[in-house]
Amino acid sequence: MKKILLTALLGLLGAGAMAGEAVKVTYAAPGQGGRPGGRMSAFRTVLTIDGDQCRISREIDTALMLKQNPEWAARLKEMRPRGGEQRRGVSETQYIDYGTHKYYSVAEMPDGTVIATEEPFVLDSALTIEPSDTVICGYKCKVATTVIKSNTIKYWFTDQAGVQGTIQPAADLPKGLVLMTSRNGRIGLKAQSIEKINVPNGPMIPTFTTLVDAPMYRYRINNAGVITVPVFDNEYIGITTGNAPGTIDSLRSDTVYRLSGGTVILRKVKLPETSKGWDIFAQVVQKADQDAYDRIGSVFVIPTGKEKSFLDALVNGLNTVPAFESHNGKQYPGIIATDTYDTPVELLRFATPFGVGGYNSHQVPGQVWADSVIYHQDVTHLAPLLEGEVWIGAYIGNWTEKAHKLSLTLKYHPGGGQKGQRAVIPVFNSLNLMEQGGQDYPSFMGDDSLRVTVNVPQNLKGAQLVYLTTGHGGWGGGDEFNQKENTVYLDGEKVFNFIPWREDCASYRRRNPASGNFSNGLSSSDLSRSNWCPGMVTNPVYIPLDDLPKGVHSIAVTIPQGKPEGSSFSYWCLSGAIVGEQVDKLPAGEKPMAMSDAKAHKDKHAKKAGKARKSKKR
C-alpha cells in the first residue's frame, strides 16, 4: 500500500513539475541523514528546479551542528577576531539552464561583491549509461559513468520524474534527475527527500554583471579568506649607508630601514591581532642585481619581550647585547638567549643562487634561466610571534651596492593553525646577520660547543627544538663540501644526531646562470653541500624534546668542525627555538632533568671522555 501511495505521489510530483511548479530535492552525505535511526545532517545541499532552470544552494543548521559537534564551538570562537566580529565567508550558489545548456557558479565575496562564471555542458555525450537496481526516494535509477581529470564519476539518475537537475554540474550530464553521485567509488551526496514548493514568478537565474573565467573564479573563492600582509616590496639589499635613527624609540612603523651596512632591511609590520586558527606562510621573491655569487639569506622576526633585543644590536651596536664566550677566547655577541635578551628567530633561511635575474645573459646550451626565485615556506609553528605589531627583518650577506632585490609577503590562511596555547622560546641564532656591522663568523665549533641556558616559563607538552643548520667553508677541505655530524644535547643528555646534507642541488641548475662550469660537465651549483643548495630554502629539523617541565634547561650543539687551511676557514650557522603546547600539568612519567647551568653539560661529557680514555689504556 505504501509503495502504491509513494508511486502516486511521485507521479503527481512529476505532473506538477511539468505544469510549472517548482521541485525541491534535499541531499546529504551518506550516513548523516535520511536513514531510519540515523541522525539528521546539519549540512545539506538543496536543488530547486523550476522548469528548465535549477538552483543549487547549501544549508547549515548551526544549532544542530553545534549540538552534534559541541567541540566546534571552541573552534569557531578561536576563528573569531578580537573585538567579537565573526569572519565572513563566501556564499556560493550554482545555477543550471537546461534550455541554453549552460551552468553558472555565483559567489558573494566577504566584501559584498558578486562574481560569476559561465560554462557550457552537453547531455549524455560522453557518458556510459547502464541499468541499476538502486532505488532512491522511490525511483529506480540508472547509472551514468564518466571520467573527469582522471577521476571516475558516477551519477544515479531517473528519467521518470518529469524534471531534470543535478547537484554536480559538469561538462557532461545525464538526461534526468540526478539522485546520487560518487567519485572513485566513494558516495558523495544522496537525495533524502523530494517535495513541491512555491517560488516567486520570473526567471530563477539572475543577470550577472561580473563574469570571470572558471580558473579566476575558483582562485578568488579559494583566496577570499586569506589575509595577505606585504612586508617588503622589491627592496634592494646591498652595501649602502644606513638610515636608522640613533635610538630604538625613534624607529617608525611606516619605514623600511637599512642597517648593518645595508645588508639587513627591517620594518615594523601590523599583523592580525591573533594567529590562532590560521596557517601562516612566508613567501620570498629574490633576484640578483649586481651580485653574481651564492649568499646565505634569512628572514627573521625580532622578539621584544625582554630587556634587550636584536634591535639594540642593530641600532646601538653589538656591544649592547649579551655575548657567548667561546673556548677560543672570542666573544660572539647576540647569538644566544639569556634572561635579559632574546635572539632573532628565523622564519626561513635560503641560499641565493648564482646571479639569477641580473646575470641571465650568460648562455649555456640547454638552459633557460629563471627570472627570479620564490622561497615559500610554512611558518605556522612560529605563530605566537606573528601577531600584532612585529619587527621583521631580512638579510643577504654581500659586499656590493644594489646586490639583490627581495620581496616578502606573509599569508594567513583560515581554518588551520595548531591546537592549544602555543609557545615559542628563542634559544640561539649564530648566523652573523650583522656581518657588515662587525659580527664575526661563528667559527668556534671545532674547539667548543654552542652552549645555552634557557628558562622555560611554562610546562611544554610535546616540546620540539626547531633547528636550522648550514655548514660553510667553500674550498675542497671546507665544511661546505664535507659531511659533519650535528649532535644536540638537552640537559647533558644526547637527544639527537644527524648529518645535514643536500644531494639535490643539481635540481636547481636553471636558477644559477652565473655558476662556474667545470671541465667534467658539472657546475658549481650542482655540488652537494652541508644542508643548503644555491637557489633553495634550508628546511628546519624538528628535534623532539618530549614533555618539557618549566624551569631552567641547557641545550648544547657539537659539530666536528674542520680546521682552517691558510686564510680559509669553516663555520656553521645555527639557529634554534623551542616550540610546544603550554599546559598547567604534564602527564605523569619520567621528566627531563633540569640543570642549573650549561657548564654542567661540558663537565659531564669531559668526565665521560676521561673514563673512556682510562678504560682504553687498560
Give the pLDDT confidence of 514-571 residue by residue, as tens digits.
999 999 999 999 999 999 999 999 999 999 999 999 999 999 999 999 999 999 999 9
Secondary structure class of 337 (helix, strand, coil): coil
What single-letter DSSP state applies at residue 517? B
**Stretch among 18-22, 396-400, 471-475 having the lowest mean pLDDT:** 18-22
What single-letter DSSP state applies at residue 292? -
Buried b (16+ CB within 10 A) or exposed e, 417-440: bbeeebbbbbbbbbbbbbbbbebb
Domain boundaries, the chain: 2-221, 226-613
In 3D space, the residue among 555, 567, 602, 606 whose CA is nearest the CA of residue 429 turns out to be 555
Q: Does domain 226-613 have CATH number 2.60.120.230?
A: yes
pLDDT at residue number 617? 42
What single-letter DSSP state applies at residue 254? T
Mean pLDDT calculated for residue range 404-419: 95
How many CB atoms neighbour CB 112 within 10 A?
7
pLDDT at residue number 590? 57
Mean pLDDT calculated for residue range 104-125: 92
Q: Nine-digit cell at 595?
A: 640543570
Q: What whole-number distance in Å separates Cα of residue 323 and Cα of residue 344? A: 14
pLDDT at residue number 59? 85
What one-character-per-residue DSSP string does 441-462 give? P---TTT--EEEEEEE-SEEEE
Give the pLDDT confidence of 73-93 residue by residue, as tens digits.
666 665 554 444 445 688 999
Higher pLDDT, 588 or 58: 58
On the question of a common fold for 2-221 and 226-613, the answer reads no
Q: How far from 516 is each of 293, 400, 472, 538, CA to CA, in Å?
A: 10, 19, 18, 22
Mean pLDDT calculated for residue range 452-469: 97
Q: Give me the sheet containing 459-472, strands edge to edge.
A: 422-429, 571-583, 459-472, 541-548
Mean pLDDT calculated for residue range 250-264: 96
pLDDT at residue number 60? 79
Q: Is the pLDDT of residue 20 over 80?
A: no
Q: What predicted TM-score, i.e. pTM, was given to this entire model? A: 0.85
Mean pLDDT calculated for residue range 56-70: 79
Q: What whole-number distance in Å separates Cα of residue 511 and Cα of residue 351? A: 11
Percent of the chain with pLDDT over 90: 78
pLDDT at residue number 500? 98
At 381, the pLDDT band (50, 70, 90 cuts) reads very high
At 42, the pLDDT band (50, 70, 90 cuts) reads confident
Q: Nine-digit cell at 158?
A: 531517473
Give the pLDDT confidence of 426-439 residue by residue, as tens digits.
999 999 999 999 99
The fold of 2-221 is: outer membrane lipoprotein receptor (LolB), chain A (2.50.20)
